[in-house]
């Protein structure tokens, strides 16, 4: 219905559009209207589209003119060009910007793999451990929607295989080894059914200097209280965002209050906590929403119980960007751009603004910048946001 209205309005402008030109305008105009809170009629009348596009140029040149106009309107900050990640002098951290060089050979056959962040992204030195291969939470912006055909299908881990792979890693790596067991599925989603965390921890704790992070959007923590000797090398992390955003995009998850109360219980029992403020959405009132989130959170837990904090803006595969544009068009009205790592992201200036403002709000409650990292960002964004480069093993 909306597209039919646009077509009629374009025809009313008495300007001729080719098929491809019309398709470009059909995709772009609704996004511009949504972002500027104006109706289609107001948009076309205000911009005098016919006057802008009226030209004696041939069809090829007119097409170029329309395309430039679309870029200027839809992408005023970046002009629609890909974001590249220029090299930056890391001094003693040259080996940390190496995620694009990590060998991914036979990764499908392994249960523990170095996390491949993408070309040009600062490497946090994490290993991803496949605890389980399914996740029924089905969050609207989760990359797992493209990975799992059926989120109910469960593949339980081979603990003995994990143990063998970990033995090899421990022999090859010097210093701390940091495992992330919450990347390919929510760590707690099936724990009440299978007791996976206790089984995995009983395997990991025998290896010296190996830390493991479990991550969740639930409050299914009952089994955790059975685990002993977890205080030093086990981090229970929770993904956190404003409740208003959670209710829209993560409707199958525990509420933010439920997660906070779960963290409070864990902290009272000596667990180290990870706070994962991901994904961050750029909305008009994001400052107010995060100010409330931080206040609610730190009214229940002490900063002394926090092992680490990560901040990460929403990033999408190209396929997910299209899906989210159809299901939640208001999310895609800000300036998005394809980056060198082949992820669709907010324009760099928007991301830096978000990080700077949220870090300023966070300072009121949490002052240890040495425990804060940015998630999947190039070095330049770390620098512009005022966050010191550091890896997860360094935090440990």
At CB < 8 A and 24+ separation, what contacts does 158-166 make? 158/111, 159/199, 159/200, 159/203, 161/111, 162/111, 162/112, 162/129, 162/200, 162/203, 163/203, 165/110, 165/111, 165/112, 166/112, 166/203, 166/204, 166/207, 166/210
Confidence of residue 98 (pLDDT cuts 50, 70, 90): very low
In a domain, 254, yes or no: yes
Same domain, 68 and 107: no
Same domain, 161 and 67: no
* pLDDT tens digits for range 262-278: 999 999 999 999 999 99
* pLDDT tens digits for range 200-248: 999 998 899 999 999 999 999 999 999 988 777 999 999 999 999 999 9
Highest mean pLDDT among 6-15, 87-96, 276-285: 276-285
In a domain, 85, yes or no: no
* Residue at which a domain ends, from 21, 39, 74: 74
* Residue at which a domain ends, from 47, 74, 101: 74
pLDDT value at residue 232: 78
In a domain, 100, yes or no: yes
Higher-confidence residue of 115 and 40: namely: 115
Closest CA to 25 of 78, 80, 77, 63: 63
Alpha-carbon span 356 to 57, nearest angstrom: 46
Same domain, 117 and 44: no
Same domain, 252 and 363: yes
In a domain, 344, yes or no: yes
Q: Could you identify the residue written with the tokens 């041939």?
A: 58
In a domain, 143, yes or no: yes
Q: Which residues of 42-52 are buried (b: 16+ CB within 10 A; e: fewer)?
A: ebbeebebeee
Q: What is the mean pLDDT of residues 113-130?
A: 91
Same domain, 24 and 165: no
Domain that residue 203 falls in: 91-395
Helix (H, G, I), strand (E, B) or coil at 312: strand
What are the tokens at 388? 């010191």
Same domain, 29 and 116: no
Q: Do residues 242 and 289 lie in contact, with contact meaning Cβ atoms separated by under 8 Å?
A: yes
In a domain, 86, yes or no: no
Same domain, 22 and 164: no
Helix (H, G, I), strand (E, B) or coil at 362: helix
Same domain, 198 and 298: yes
What are the tokens at 116? 């491949």
pTM greater than 0.85:
no
CATH code of the domain covering residue 263: 3.80.30.30
Same domain, 327 and 379: yes
Alpha-carbon span 264 to 261, nearest angstrom: 5
Same domain, 183 and 255: yes
Instruction: Report, in angstroms and rounded to the nearest whole number, the Rg of the chain calculated over CA atoms.
Output: 24
Q: Do residues 3 and 40 lie in contact, with contact meaning Cβ atoms separated by under 8 Å?
A: no
In a domain, 82, yes or no: no
Same domain, 64 and 130: no
* pLDDT tens digits for range 43-71: 766 655 555 554 434 445 555 666 676 67
* Bridge partners (DSSP) listed for residue 345: 315, 337
pLDDT value at residue 210: 95
* Number of domains within the chain: 2
* Residue at which a domain ends, from 45, 74, 103: 74
Alpha-carbon span 169 to 177, nearest angstrom: 8
Task: Please provide the average confidence, as pLDDT, over all residues in the chain.
Answer: 83
Same domain, 59 and 190: no
In a domain, 79, yes or no: no
């Amino acid at each position: 219905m909306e597209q039919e209205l646009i077509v009629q309005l374009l025809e009313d402008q008495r300007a001729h559009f080719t098929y491809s030109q019309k398709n470009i305008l059909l995709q772009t105009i609704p996004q511009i209207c949504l972002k500027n809170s104006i109706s289609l009629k107001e948009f076309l009348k205000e911009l005098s589209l016919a006057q802008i596009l009226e030209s004696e140029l041939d069809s090829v040149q007119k097409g170029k003119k329309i395309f430039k106009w679309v870029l200027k309107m839809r992408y005023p900050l970046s002009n629609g060009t890909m974001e590249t990640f220029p090299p930056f002098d890391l001094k003693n951290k040259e080996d940390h910007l190496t995620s694009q060089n990590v060998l991914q050979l036979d990764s499908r056959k392994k249960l523990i793999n170095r996390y491949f962040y993408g070309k040009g992204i600062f490497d946090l030195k994490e290993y991803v451990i496949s605890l389980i291969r399914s996740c029924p939470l089905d969050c609207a912006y989760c990359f797992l929607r493209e990975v799992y055909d059926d989120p109910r299908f469960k593949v339980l881990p081979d603990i003995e295989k994990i143990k063998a792979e970990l033995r090899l890693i421990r022999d090859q790596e010097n210093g701390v080894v940091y495992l992330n067991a919450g990347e390919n599925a929510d760590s707690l989603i099936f724990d009440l059914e299978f007791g996976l965390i206790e089984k995995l921890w009983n395997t990991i704790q025998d290896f010296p200097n190996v830390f493991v992070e479990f991550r969740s959007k639930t409050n299914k923590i009952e089994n955790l209280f059975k685990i002993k000797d977890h205080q030093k090398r086990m981090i229970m992390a929770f993904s956190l965002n404003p409740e208003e955003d959670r209710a829209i995009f993560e409707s199958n998850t525990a509420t933010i209050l439920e997660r906070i109360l779960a963290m409070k219980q864990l902290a009272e029992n000596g667990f180290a906590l990870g706070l994962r403020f991901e994904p961050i959405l750029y909305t008009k009132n994001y400052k107010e929403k995060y100010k409330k989130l931080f206040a609610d959170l730190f009214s229940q837990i002490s900063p002394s119980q926090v092992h680490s904090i990560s901040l990460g803006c929403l990033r999408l595969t190209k396929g997910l960007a299209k899906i989210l544009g159809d299901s939640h068009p208001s999310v895609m009205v800000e300036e998005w751009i394809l980056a060198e790592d082949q992820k669709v992201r907010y324009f760099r200036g928007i991301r830096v603004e978000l990080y700077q403002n949220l870090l300023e709000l966070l300072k009121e409650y949490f002052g240890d910048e040495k425990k804060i990292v940015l998630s999947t960002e190039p070095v330049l964004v770390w620098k512009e946001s005022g966050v010191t480069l550091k890896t997860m093993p360094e935090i440990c």
